[in-house]
Amino acid sequence: MNIPLRHTAKTMVDMAKQASHSVAFFPAILSLVLVTLVTLSISGSSIGMYHQIFYGNTSDPNLIANQPQSVRSDEWVVGIPKILGQSNNEYQVVNKNVGLGENQSVLIGGPTTDWSTFFRPDNFGFFILPVDNAFALKWWLSAYLLVLAVYFFVLVFLPKKRLLASIIAVGFLFSPFLQWWSTYGSIAWVLLGFIAFTKLLHERKMVFEVLWGILFFYIAVCFALTLYPPFQIPAALMTMALAIGYIIDHRREISRKNMIKKCTILIAAGIAAVTIFLLFIASHKSVTDIIQGTVYPGQRIVTSGGYNPAHLLASQTSGLMQNSAHAAAYTFSPNQSEASNFMLILPYLLIPLALIIWTGFKKKRHIAYSLLLPLLVGLLFTAWLFVPGLDFLGKVTLLSNVPLERMIIGLGILNLICLVLFIKLYENSSWRPKHTSIIIYSLLVVIATLCINFYIAIKLPGFMSFKWAVILSLPFALITYFLLRKQYIVATLILCIFSFLSVCKVQPLYIGTSILRNSDISKAMVETSRRYNPDQRWAGDYIYLENFPAMNGLPSLSGTYVYPQLDIWSKLNQPDKINMYNRYAHINFTFDRNAAKEIKPILTNPGNDQFNVTLEPCDLFFKTMDVGYLLTTAQFGVNEANCLSLTKTVIYPTTTFYIYRVNL
């Protein structure tokens, strides 16, 4: 039977339209993007910095777009080498190549055979995929989950607005705070947990109630095991306020009997999640106790107040942070990551939201607690940022564990909540502002942002010119105008595009990890160890390569210790210096090169997260710790180190590395 071509084409078009209207259409497109990136081993990592270190400004064949970010040293110097080092450690929980052995499940969250990996889905790929593909999956999965979480979060409140939900989700991903920090997990898990919570609340079939409860349990454990309180605490407080408000708003829709049943499932899931988390802490107690007893970060207490209001309100200037020269002139913060923010449309929605809430209360005696309670928590966060002396409040809410710059993550979630609930409440509100009033209010937004921008341009002329002060005063006013005109697609598209333009140069697109694993220096180190004694340790004086030995499966004293190994440094016999090494720290050595004078080991802290040991290259400490190899960027002269023999020289266009054999 012949089917007319026109009929076939029409059928395909109809199917495409039907698919595009499906709730699964956007997740399907998103999944296709994820699979493509993982298949091609493309990540957003800044490990391309090593190409610059080795080869200078020559073209990097693995760099697809943008430039690696030196400010992300925690990622390319620490995190990535430690993750790759696990592939040379058979994914054991303790990597014995880091000092006397370092647990990779705590703080690092690297791929291990520990049972907790079940609650770290970003590590699943390392057990089934080649390393480069698994690394790409780990890089992107949290961002993928975040976009999905925001998409379905919007649909909780605006069930039929799928295109709008897609735009908001993509725009939120491009928030400067998220792109500079590359921290998606905390927000993704709390939003996914809230979605599971709402599904459980409205579910009518017992079997699905249980399934939603199990999913909530899994999400809660995943969130707990991110193990970064500065982001977790604000995110949890804001989402808890939203969940409580949601229950109050929907209390009349669910019978008391059903509410008790659902709360029982929820409480059981919560108790189970807490139990699993406590089991994790108990099974790693020796490590967590050490971390709690450290000088840094274990004893870090944050006090309230002192945050810069202009900096908080200047989110519209985030795009200028992509220019390193401009960013260097932004003295309100030490670097782009610390200076990053969300696109805070919230301050300009407060008056319209107040009018919507007041109109609803006056007419129907209705209060949107889903909005009110998060706003109250936002007020708490704001007070913590600006009001000094709130020590008791900080202890009660745990905000004393949150550095002020990290607090912004809570305001970012509030910003999302307010945008979504503004649209929901405005659609159902009887408040109808006149077009003239909307224009006037939008002009007031322009004036407000102009005042902020002019203040910054005057204070920091190297950061922003008056031309940019004017240009960057327009986007939020346009977004506000179109929101008040109920043209939500246009408003959120402007927000999404503006957000993208503000961060489009932040993330590099980079292929694979060969610049680390297959570099000439890595090959030379592995070859040297195999030639002599693979069990002897390495020490080096070049901070950017501090984690290279462990990354290549070689034992090392140099490296980043995410918690202190006191048994090592106590052998320096300087007990009065324990506060120097009892910390999370980059451990590096400086070798004395004065042949005329022999020194005892000198301990210093160049920074809170750094510990340096200056000593003779033939110091007996190296013999005690069975150090067999030194990696340095400067050749030793005659009689400077009689115990050393040069075994290999690795020459790069910008740097030469010398590998010495230690004979003690």
**Res. 7: pLDDT tops 70:** no
Q: Give the contacts of 567 (CB within 8 A, at least 6 positions apart).
A: 100
Segment 156-183, tens digit of pLDDT: 999 999 999 999 999 999 999 999 998 8
Which amino acid does the sequence have at 649? T
User: Mean pLDDT, to the nearest integer, of 126-149?
Assistant: 97
The answer to whether 618 touches 569, Cβ cutoff 8 Å, is: no
**Res. 374: pLDDT tops 50:** yes
Q: Give the contacts of 522 (CB within 8 A, at least 6 positions apart).
A: 516, 548, 551, 552
pLDDT of residue 252: 87
User: Mean pLDDT, to the nearest integer, of 604-608?
Assistant: 91
In the structure, what pLDDT confidence band is assigned to residue 57 with cuts at 50, 70 and 90? Answer: very high
pLDDT of residue 366: 77
Angle at Cα 136 formed by Cα 134 and Cα 142, nearest 5°?
100
**Res. 388: pLDDT tops 80:** yes
Helix (H) or strand (E) holding 560: strand 559-561
339: burial class by Cβ within 10 Å (0-12, 13-18, 19+)?
Answer: buried
Helix (H) or strand (E) holding 209: helix 206-224
CA gap 217, 268 in Å, rounded: 9
Which amino acid does the sequence have at 579? N
- The residue among 167 and 575 whose pLDDT is bigger is 167
Which amino acid does the sequence have at 553? G
Q: Give the contacts of 482 (CB within 8 A, at least 6 positions apart).
A: 488, 490, 491, 494
In the structure, what pLDDT confidence band is assigned to residue 20 with cuts at 50, 70 and 90? Answer: low
**Res. 633: pLDDT tops 60:** yes
The answer to whether 564 touches 294, Cβ cutoff 8 Å, is: yes
The answer to whether 510 touches 40, Cβ cutoff 8 Å, is: no
CA gap 155, 151 in Å, rounded: 7
Taking the CB of residue 567, how many other CB atoms lie within 10 A of it? 9
User: Mean pLDDT, to the nearest integer, of 338-361?
Assistant: 93
pLDDT of residue 3: 55
**Res. 10: pLDDT tops 60:** no
**Res. 322: pLDDT tops 60:** yes
In the structure, what pLDDT confidence band is assigned to residue 9 with cuts at 50, 70 and 90? Answer: low
In the structure, what pLDDT confidence band is assigned to residue 19 with cuts at 50, 70 and 90? Answer: low
Q: What percent of the chain has pLDDT over 90?
A: 86
Query: Phi and psi at residue 662, in whole multiples of 5°?
Result: -95, 125
**Res. 17: pLDDT tops 60:** no
Question: What DSSP designation does 333 have?
Answer: S
**Res. 390: pLDDT tops 50:** yes
Average pLDDT over the chain reads 93
Which amino acid does the sequence have at 420? V
Region at 90 (left for phi over 0; alpha for psi -120 to 50; beta for the rest): left
**Sign of the C-alpha dihedral, residues 87, 89, 93, 98?**
negative
The answer to whether 503 touches 176, Cβ cutoff 8 Å, is: yes
Segment 179-221, tens digit of pLDDT: 999 889 999 999 999 999 999 999 989 999 999 999 999 999 9
- Written as six digits, the tokens of 628 are 């067999």
Residue 63: CA count within 13 A, CB half-sphere: 20
The answer to whether 119 touches 222, Cβ cutoff 8 Å, is: yes
pLDDT of residue 12: 47
The answer to whether 26 touches 162, Cβ cutoff 8 Å, is: yes
Q: Give the contacts of 227 (CB within 8 A, at least 6 positions apart).
A: 106, 107, 109
Give the residue among 618, 630, 583 at the shortest CA–CA distance from 603: 583
The answer to whether 503 touches 322, Cβ cutoff 8 Å, is: yes
**Res. 13: pLDDT tops 60:** no
pLDDT of residue 369: 94
The answer to whether 589 touches 617, Cβ cutoff 8 Å, is: no
pLDDT of residue 300: 77
Which amino acid does the sequence have at 5? L
SS3 607: coil
* Sheet strand arrangement including 537-540: 537-540, 627-632, 656-662, 644-651
Q: What percent of the chain has pLDDT over 70?
A: 97
pLDDT of residue 264: 93
CA gap 140, 138 in Å, rounded: 6
SS3 327: helix
Torsion, Cα 46 48 53 59, to 10 degrees, reads -140
